[in-house]
Amino acid sequence: MSNYHIKHLEEYYQVYRKSVRNPEAFWEEIAEEHFVWRKKWDSVLNWDFKKPEVKWFEGAQLNITENCIDRHLTTRGDKTAILFEPNNPKEEALHITYSQLHERVSKMANVLKEQGVKKGDRVCIYLPMIPELAVAVLACARIGAIHSVVFAGFSSNALSTRINDSDCKIVLTSDGSYRGAKTIDLKGIVDKALEDSPGVTSVLVVNRINSDINMKEGRDQWLQPLLDDAYGDCVPEIMNAEDPLFILYTSGSTGKPKGMVHTTAGYMVYTAYTFKNIFQYKEDDIYWCTADIGWITGHSYILYGPLANGATTVMFEGVPSYPDYGRFWEVVEKHKVNQFYTAPTAIRALAKENLEYVEKYDLSSLKVLGSVGEPINEEAWHWYNNNVGKKQSPIVDTWWQTETGGIMISPIPYVTPTTPTFATLPFIGIQPALMDENGKEIKDNQIDGRLCIKFPWPSIARTIWGNHERYRDTYFSAYENKYFTGDGAHRDAVGYYRITGRVDDVIIVSGHNLGTAPIEDAINEHPAIAESAIVGFPHDVKGNALYGYVILKETGEGRDRDNLKKEINQQITEHIGPIAKLDKIQFVSGLPKTRSGKIMRRILRKIASKETSNLGDTSTLLNPEVIKEIMENAF
């Protein structure tokens, strides 16, 4: 028997060593014993980070939905697979059993087929957190179509860019969505997006909010009647191990989002194995991850990882503040949640509110608390530990990325002793390295460096859709033969890792990964604006907030500044979404630039963070005089 479920620290070290000494033998054993295959692999791993190319389980054939659904039907057919908790607490929760999930996914798969969707086609899913979203994702996987889920908080512009980049012909959406006390006109956003995406020939619409929407003839159809007529069984498409499973976009240091491509077998094996261990999932547990399926956290740890383990996974449509700040804890009590996985920004927001919201509810079912998306600060860690976990539930601070597919550095609860703000130890099979400025690996402990991974793991993204060169440049060119994460990290005396934050032009705001370039591009499209620079600064709830330095064109000089600020944020909302709005906007006459014309963001970051006592070396600047002006008018 392989070490599928790690139970104590000695075992962790022993299994870790095994996984590093002979990765192929290790992962082969895990894959062999815990999944169903139509055909076994010819080779476990082929890789070359120089190309770069990574292939796991080549030659194997499978369908991931057979692993996530069908194989559970005999033993867990009546067990709840997805527990849907609606936005409105007065609306009843929905328990979708594995048998029902099988039928719903089959019907949806058959509807997609009728719409002409074939293996390898891309399907854009722009849906709120309702069961149809989960069903649509799995239905794509059933027929070998590549799903591209776009978070339903993104704007029409962002949606259109993503549809066009992966050339989707079909979009699944809903008439609208509920978000706390608000409703959002999703279909209106889709209609607008499709003005710039003429390739889309079919839009299937879920009725969620019963609103009177515009249906374009020949293109738009209500989904429900199609599902009603569809056959409730669908033979799964047999996929090769390295066939793409999905595309998920993440922002980067240029304006264009990166469509990260994840493939089938390795992704399945790694997400399932990490889920089992990092949440110590036991058969009758109720597991809840509060993320949206529009992000990688939802893909890997609401859907694929839990379902591959036959788990009950909660899917929550709402927000933490509606109808009041006790909503999360009410749901934990109501469904007796055992593992709860959320983001530091949510914890910080709730920690600001009255403690009664937490104390009112019985949280004794909780066994494991998770955190993801950004560094969790010490204060938030303690609040989570004391008030939610009552010091009884270990906190797993899980570090990973859209690109890594699964959790990379994390404690294993009840196994790894935790330390606030430390993601602690690499998970089984993960080989981190810290690099110094000269590109050399630092072997010592108690040091800071740039975080790389020096050996492939099964769920690493294989490419950027349509742009393998960008994939190489972004992740494999900074350090030879290593995957570069874009993060900085500290390694302490016992080998624990603390992630210190991004070292590139990505800013994590409320756990959302935002590139500065796309925001600057959006602002610069405003007719009154010549140039802009975005930096992050500390914010007590969001972790980081955005500070924009904006240079006006001469024609903009006479304009009302407050109106301009509103228009800038409007512009950002339209191009990206409200999550990328700026907290502070400062109009400046120039930006500090190096002689080669690069904006010195380091200085702008310090000014925005009010850390102006030591601005560092400014001697290489082309225009040092501008700094004084910027500092005088900051905040």
Binding site for ligand WT7 (CB under 6 A): 250, 295-297, 372-375, 397-402, 423, 485-487, 499, 502, 508, 513
Q: Please identify, using beta-carbon distances, which residue of 26 and 301 lies nearer to ligand WT7.
A: 301
- Label residue 444 exposed, middle or buried (CB < 10 Å: 0-12, 13-18, 19+): exposed
Contact between residue 43 and residue 59 where contact means Cβ atoms under 8 Å apart: yes
Q: Please identify, using beta-carbon distances, which residue of 237 and 397 lies nearer to ligand WT7.
A: 397
Closest CA to 350 of 537, 581, 540: 540
Q: Please identify, using beta-carbon distances, which residue of 435 and 585 lies nearer to ligand WT7.
A: 435
Minimum separation from the CB atom of position 450 to ligand WT7 (A):
12
Q: Please identify, using beta-carbon distances, which residue of 52 and 375 lies nearer to ligand WT7.
A: 375
Minimum separation from the CB atom of position 254 to ligand WT7 (A):
16
Q: Please identify, using beta-carbon distances, which residue of 110 and 297 lies nearer to ligand WT7.
A: 297
Minimum separation from the CB atom of position 257 to ligand WT7 (A):
11
d(CA 481, CA 404): 16
- Count of alpha carbons within 13 angstroms of residue 607, beta-carbon side: 27
CA dist 371 → 42, 51, 355, 366, 563 (Å): 38, 34, 20, 14, 38
Q: Please identify, using beta-carbon distances, which residue of 113 and 601 lies nearer to ligand WT7.
A: 601
Contact between residue 575 and residue 521 where contact means Cβ atoms under 8 Å apart: yes
CA trace torsion 128, 129, 133, 135 (10° rounding): -160
Q: Please identify, using beta-carbon distances, which residue of 400 and 587 lies nearer to ligand WT7.
A: 400
Minimum separation from the CB atom of position 540 to ligand WT7 (A):
17
Minimum separation from the CB atom of position 419 to ligand WT7 (A):
13
Contact between residue 434 and residue 412 where contact means Cβ atoms under 8 Å apart: no
Minimum separation from the CB atom of position 304 to ligand WT7 (A):
14
Q: Please identify, using beta-carbon distances, which residue of 189 and 423 lies nearer to ligand WT7.
A: 423
Q: DSSP letters of 365-429? A: T--EEEEESSPPPHHHHHHIIIIISTTTS-EEEEB--GGG-S--B-PPTTTSPP-TT--BSBPTT
CA trace torsion 309, 310, 312, 315 (10° rounding): 70
Minimum separation from the CB atom of position 294 to ligand WT7 (A):
11
Q: Please identify, using beta-carbon distances, which residue of 280 and 513 lies nearer to ligand WT7.
A: 513
Q: Strands 94-97 and 506-509, how do they pair?
A: unpaired
Backbone CA torsion sign across 504, 506, 508, 512: negative
Minimum separation from the CB atom of position 487 to ligand WT7 (A):
5
Residue located via tokens 């290593």: 482
Residue located via tokens 């903009």: 556
Minimum separation from the CB atom of position 545 to ligand WT7 (A):
16
CA trace torsion 278, 282, 284, 290 (10° rounding): 0
Q: Please identify, using beta-carbon distances, which residue of 141 and 278 lies nearer to ligand WT7.
A: 278
CA dist 555 → 43, 522, 529, 530 (Å): 64, 19, 9, 10
Minimum separation from the CB atom of position 513 to ligand WT7 (A):
3
Q: Name the residue type at position 147.
A: H
